[in-house]
A = this chain, B = another copy of it.
Amino acid sequence: MPSYSMITKTQIKYLRSLHLKKYRDRENVYFAEGVKLVNEALSSHIPDIKMLLYTSENKQHIRTELLSHNIPSIELKQEDFQKISVLKNPQGVLLLIKRPVNPIPEISEFNDLILILDSIRDPGNLGTIIRLADWFDIRYIICSSESVDCYNPKVVQATMGAIFRVNIFYTPLTEFLSILHESGKSTIYGSTMNGENIYKKQLKTPAAIILGNEAHGISLGIHQYIDENILIPNFNNSVSRSESLNVSMSAAIICSEFRRNKV
């Protein structure tokens, strides 16, 4: 039986500190907040849920889950929960989860499609891309070390639970790409402004797709590892038109193009 106890000021301070990457890194935990994410975490059977926090108002609703999963739990007052929450409208339920600490798999372990993210900075974009990866059965995402942390609460929210199912790694990309390139196991595609029309290309798998930073695209040092540059053409031929698509929109369309022939 899990025990119920009231939260201390020190615990609130500790949980609040996890909004920041520095403390998440030190403690090696993150949190997932809200009914949707908590349910997704439970149904995804992630191994390391350390703690469930819920408000007294949510007690009735949460207890069944709790008992069946046997997770240690803390009951909070609404006002204390709000101090920890990152949501505008807190739903009174939150999980504290141990981050997975697996090394990057051997190249041979990747399935037919992986994503490589070069300095994606916006939490919403990364969260959306993780959600897309889950949808398109992409099991691995490799992020450059400068990319936004996937355990940032805003990223976790935007994944809508996909964070529990997609394997995400952070590593210096030049190193990773030079190994991948030398292995010859995957065609390395880069989404670039001077790429070839994606709709006219025969896309090959196994493939690795590189997506670049929101403002600067793919770093110069990485271009040398790209086998094929691809581009989603602008169908608007007016003089005044958008310069680019948002990176998560591009990701959606590119993943769709790689998968559409698989059905």
Q: Separation in Å of the A216 CB from the closest CB of chain B? A: 15
A241: interface (CB < 8 Å): yes
In the complex formed, the residue of B with least CB distance to A46 is B240
A160: interface (CB < 8 Å): yes
- Interfacial chain B residues near A263, Cβ < 8 Å: 197, 199-200, 233
- Interfacial chain B residues near A135, Cβ < 8 Å: 232, 234-236, 241-242, 245
In the complex formed, the residue of B with least CB distance to A254 is B256
A238: interface (CB < 8 Å): yes
Q: In the complex the two chains form, what is the Cα distance from A164 to B237 in whole Å? A: 15
- Interfacial chain B residues near A235, Cβ < 8 Å: 135-137, 259, 262
Of A8-16, A90-98, A100-108, A126-134, the stretch lying at the interface with chain B is A126-134
Inter-chain contact A241/B134, CB cutoff 8 Å: yes
**Interface residues on chain A, number (Cβ under 8 Å):** 43
A88: interface (CB < 8 Å): no
| Contact pick for A132, options B44, B241, B245, B259, CB 8 Å | B245
A43: interface (CB < 8 Å): yes
- Quick one: CB contact mask for A224-238 with B, threshold 8 Å, 1 for yes? 000000001111111
Q: In the complex the two chains form, what is the Cα distance from A160 to B242 in whole Å? A: 8
- Quick one: CB contact mask for A163-191 with B, threshold 8 Å, 1 for yes? 01100000000000000000000000000
- Interfacial chain B residues near A134, Cβ < 8 Å: 236, 241-242
Q: Separation in Å of the A118 CB from the closest CB of chain B? A: 20
Inter-chain contact A242/B131, CB cutoff 8 Å: yes
Q: List 15 A-B contacts (CB under 8 A).
A: A40-B240, A128-B246, A131-B245, A131-B246, A134-B236, A135-B234, A135-B236, A135-B241, A137-B235, A165-B241, A200-B263, A235-B262, A252-B256, A253-B253, A256-B256
Please provide the 8 A-B residue pairs with the shortest distance between their CB atoms, ordered closest to farther: A137-B235, A252-B252, A199-B260, A253-B256, A137-B236, A249-B252, A44-B240, A199-B263
Binding site for B on A (CB under 8 A): 40, 43-45, 124, 128, 131-132, 134-137, 160-162, 164-165, 197, 199-200, 232-238, 240-242, 245-246, 248-249, 252-253, 256-257, 259-263
